[in-house]
Amino acid sequence: MYQPGDIRVEDVPKPAVKAGHALVRVAACGVCGSDIPRMLSKGAHVMPLICGHEFAGFIEEIGSGVEGYAIGELVTVPPMIPDVSSDQYARGFPSRSERYDYFGSRRDGAYAEYVNVPLSNLIKVPQGMDPIAASLVDPAAIALHAIWKADFKAGQIGAVVGCGPIGLFAIQWLRVMGAKDIVAIDIAEEKLAMAREAGATHTLLSGAADAELPRCQLVIEAAGHPSSINQAVQLTKAGGHVVFIGIPTSEVALSTATFSHFLRQEISLHGAWNSFSAPFPGDEWTASIDKLASGELQWQFMITHDLPLDELPAMFKRYADRSEVAAKVIFRP
């Protein structure tokens, strides 16, 4: 990406492996929802930049100082490179630091054949795990990180507003945790069909009357649209929790009715940023790798596009003109 909307596929020299790093040959890199505004409108911290941060790959070369890894081993890569000197890192909150580094937004990422990955970010996965599944650990862990912000228990009712990949993983985590019912809301019927496959028991097109839906102990807001943010709060029962994952791209205002509901019903509102805890990358990653490898978290149904890397510019044009529905898009260099 040279500038927002100026996206090119180019040949560049193969990077040399760095000390304390491994050179990873990318096997799969998924499109995160944050990539779309970054690459089409907002731009990144530095440009030109190779974007892409949800990835897994095979170790191609091992730099000096790296032990315990083998050539050809499949690894998944946490996209954040934490600031280990920060107070927030010391307290166990690496995502709250202001100076962390990040593949695909602050340094070159994985819409590429090769990436230099520091030792701290080389995470082994079980033998035989599908590389696409390994590339999906980050969105699965983001969903789990959000759910853990609230005291959700088996037998309670949960909801997810916004059924992109993170929302679909949130639905599955709620199912795994023993939710009595799971409500899913989205603007696209295609996404609601996926939500039902993920385990949702009630589905609703966004904007439709929701008087018949049960109030929920936990609502995960994974869309970031002003209307869905208000809807998420309104859907929450007294004393419940709303956790916000979705990143707004426009100004957000709570209606008087929404504000009154969370005020009078003593609803707790939480922010959830990234997928990490201590020790880095956190138990969210350990659990997500385990459940994806075992098949308890399903992923195949959400893959709508499995594309070679040279189709990336054309795919982002389709994102821009909204010419088709896409759930999870995977690029394979």
Q: Is residue 258 in a domain?
A: yes
Residue span of the structural domain in which 245 resides? 150-271
Pair 162, 196 in one domain: yes
Q: What is the largest CA-CA distance in the chain?
A: 61
22: helix, strand or coil: strand
Q: Is residue 320 in a domain?
A: yes
Pair 50, 196 in one domain: no
Phi, psi of 170 (to 5 degrees): -60, -40
**In the listed set 219, 253, 271, which residue is the last one of a domain according to the structure?**
271
Task: Give me the amino acid identity at 109.
Answer: G
Pair 95, 48 in one domain: yes
Q: pLDDT (tens digit, 9 = 90+) per residue, 245-269? A: 999 989 999 999 999 999 999 999 9
HEC letters along 214-280: CCEEEEEECCCCHHHHHHHHHCEEEEEEEEECCCCCCCCCCCHHHHHHHHHCCCEEEECCCCCCCCC
Contact 233, 216 (CB under 8 A): no
Q: pLDDT (tens digit, 9 = 90+) per residue, 211-240? A: 678 899 999 999 999 999 999 999 999 999
HEC letters along 83-112: CCCCHHHHCCCHHHCCCCEEECCCECCCCC
Pair 283, 188 in one domain: no
CA angle 280, 138, 62 (to 5 degrees): 65
Q: Find the CATH number of the domain harbouring 66.
A: 3.90.180.10
**In the listed set 236, 254, 271, which residue is the last one of a domain according to the structure?**
271
Q: Find the CATH number of the domain harbouring 252.
A: 3.40.50.720
Q: Count how many domains the chain has.
A: 2
Q: Is residue 15 in a domain?
A: no
Q: Is residue 3 in a domain?
A: no
The Cα 63–Cα 116 span in angstroms is 10
Q: Is residue 145 in a domain?
A: no
**In the listed set 271, 295, 312, which residue is the last one of a domain according to the structure?**
271
Q: Is residue 45 in a domain?
A: yes
Contact 221, 246 (CB under 8 A): yes
Pair 69, 174 in one domain: no
pTM, 2 dp: 0.97
First CA to last CA distance, the chain: 16
Pair 250, 309 in one domain: no
Average pLDDT per 10 consecutive residues for the chain, totaling 333 residues: 98 96 99 96 96 99 98 99 97 95 98 98 98 99 98 97 98 99 96 98 83 90 96 97 95 97 98 98 99 98 98 96 92 97
Pair 215, 306 in one domain: no
